[in-house]
Amino acid sequence: MQNKNIKVIVFTRDLLKERGGGPSTYIFNLYNALREEYFAEPDGTIYIPQKKLEIKFVSLGFLEKNLSINIIRPFRFRKLRNFLKNTNIPLLSYLLSYCYFSFREKKQFLHFRKYRDYFKAADIIHFHFVLDLLLMRRISNKNSLKILTVHSPESFILELPKNNFWLKLNSKLQEMEQKAFKMADTYIYPCYNSLENHLISFPYLETLIKNKKIFYCPTGVPKLSVTTSKEEMRKILRVPPKAFVISYIGRHIPVKGFDVLINSIINILNLNKEIYLISAGKGELINSYKNIPLLSKYWRHIEWTDTPGDLINASDCFILPNRKSFFDLALLEAMSIGVPIIASNVGGSIYVTSKSKGIILTDVSVKNLMEVILKMSKLQEKERELLGKSNFEAFQEFFSLKAFAKNYVETLKDIYASTYLSS
């Protein structure tokens, strides 16, 4: 084995958020997972002597937590930074960063030289967004391994506003996205099912992976806290103590299948069967359904909560009806509460289900979801408790922060060994 430490950079040009989803929350959890298991310097560098690893995290910093980390700020102008921070189009920040960075680098006015030194010395750089890889390629060591993890089940281009300005950029953005996939030396996926999802979303990936190595590292999350008892939470939400209740946490949008869930509930209510829904999150579909009289009687919606564990714990079953999925963190969080789960058989949910008997998979349709929900409602309370217990045990073994730290360290070692030590 090599004598030197393997120098690794985990990079995102973004704020790290405890509950932001995507790369932001993935790296937030990864940093905390490694920090709990190993030694962290004040600047956020993680040292793992027994594995000869030195991992530096470089980002815009933490949003919620006052934790030390390397800070990179691509913009000098405060007003511009504030505009980008508050814009409803986060991608605009990346595009302007890309243009600005390229210009300043060519003019040799790069104002974050110490980060350039990090990149020049790195053996491995782990990117989490395609434009990040393009943004930092000029200051990266040509011999360093570029790892790419794309967290969205689809191309980021599909999330752009549908107006003439962005449509004109589409072809160029698609070209940049494909270029980033080509530039990466290897990819990290949470599981094979997540890769399968990308093979559909990015058809050219099937050709690319023939010449690249792919590694799998299951994601982990912290256990959700429960601050209010199930009985008390139901009182607060005006839900009968003996009612059958399902919960949903996440964006209320079509790709997440919220319309499939809500129409399943409407159909069940039309059968004169009582079922309550507790949901939290934002999304375009909330306004589409909130004024339906029958539904409003049984639907308790909270736009934002700092304690999602309380809402999930107040329910008898958690629902994850994604139409497409990469590796949904909400699924892992619900497992940490120890409740039964119904999830659509897409993406990473298929892999997670293989680790627990407490998750029931269903096709993404109103009819199928409705049938599974009704079956769940007919189970005895003890039967549901056993399903929840299986989920909690699987969470502790495979998807906790402790498991995440171990998996990530071993994955880095495998990547380095397969590249440098096998030749």
Q: Which CATH architecture has domain 230-399?
A: 3-Layer(aba) Sandwich (3.40)
pLDDT per residue as tens digits for the range 28-48: 999 999 999 998 887 778 999
Whether residue 371 is predicted with pLDDT greater than 90 in this model: the reply is yes
CATH of domain 6-221+401-421: 3.40.50
Specify the pLDDT at position 168: 65
Distance of CA 308 to the CA centre of its chain: 16
Mean pLDDT of 379-401: 97
Whether residue 400 is predicted with pLDDT greater than 90 in this model: the reply is yes
Whether residue 300 is predicted with pLDDT greater than 50 in this model: the reply is yes
Mean pLDDT of 68-80: 46
Mean pLDDT of 344-361: 96
Q: Are 395 and 223 in contact (CB under 8 A)?
A: yes
CA distance 381 to 50: 47
Mean pLDDT of the chain: 85
Specify the pLDDT at position 159: 64
| Residues written for the chain | 423
CA distance 24 to 309: 20
With residues binned 3-state (H G I as helix, E B as strand, rest as coil), the percentages for the chain, rounded to 5, are 50, 15, 35
Q: Are 181 and 148 in contact (CB under 8 A)?
A: yes
In percent, the amount of the chain with pLDDT more than 90 equals 61
Name which residue leads in pLDDT, 117 or 245: 245
Q: Which two tokens stand for residue 162?
A: 């549908």
Whether residue 75 is predicted with pLDDT greater than 50 in this model: the reply is no
Q: Which two tokens stand for residue 104?
A: 């300043």
Specify the pLDDT at position 99: 55
pLDDT per residue as tens digits for the range 166-178: 566 677 778 888 9
Query: Which residues are CB-neighbours of 124 under 8 A, at least 6 positions away?
Result: 6, 7, 8, 9, 144, 145, 147, 412, 415, 416
Q: What are the residues facing 213 on neighbouring strands? A: 186
- Measured between its terminal Cα atoms, the distance across the chain in Å is 13
CB atoms within 10 A of CB 156: 17
Specify the pLDDT at position 172: 76
Q: Are strands 124-127 and 70-71 parallel, antiparallel or unpaired?
A: unpaired
Q: Which two tokens stand for residue 378?
A: 């007919």
Model confidence band, residue 109 (pLDDT cutoffs 50, 70, 90): very low
pLDDT per residue as tens digits for the range 127-144: 998 888 887 777 788 889
Q: Which two tokens stand for residue 289?
A: 């359904």
Identify which of 337, 321, 413 has the alpha carbon closest to the alpha carbon of residue 369.
321
Whether residue 345 is predicted with pLDDT greater than 90 in this model: the reply is yes
Model confidence band, residue 110 (pLDDT cutoffs 50, 70, 90): very low
Whether residue 68 is predicted with pLDDT greater than 60 in this model: the reply is no
Identify which of 173, 223, 211 has the alpha carbon closest to the alpha carbon of residue 404.
223
pLDDT per residue as tens digits for the range 202-236: 999 999 999 999 999 999 999 999 999 999 999 99
CA distance 33 to 78: 32
Identify which of 302, 306, 298, 316 has the alpha carbon closest to the alpha carbon of residue 383.
316
Specify the pLDDT at position 277: 98
- What is the residue extent of each domain of the chain? 6-221+401-421, 230-399
Rounded to the nearest 10°, the torsion over CA 348, 351, 352, 354 is: 160
Specify the pLDDT at position 133: 87
Domains 6-221+401-421 and 230-399 share a fold: yes
pTM exceeding 0.95: no
Query: Which residues are CB-neighbours of 35 under 8 A, at least 6 positions away?
Result: 46
Whether residue 242 is predicted with pLDDT greater than 90 in this model: the reply is yes
Specify the pLDDT at position 1: 44
Whether residue 238 is predicted with pLDDT greater than 90 in this model: the reply is yes
Identify which of 88, 117, 43, 381 has the alpha carbon closest to the alpha carbon of residue 244.
381
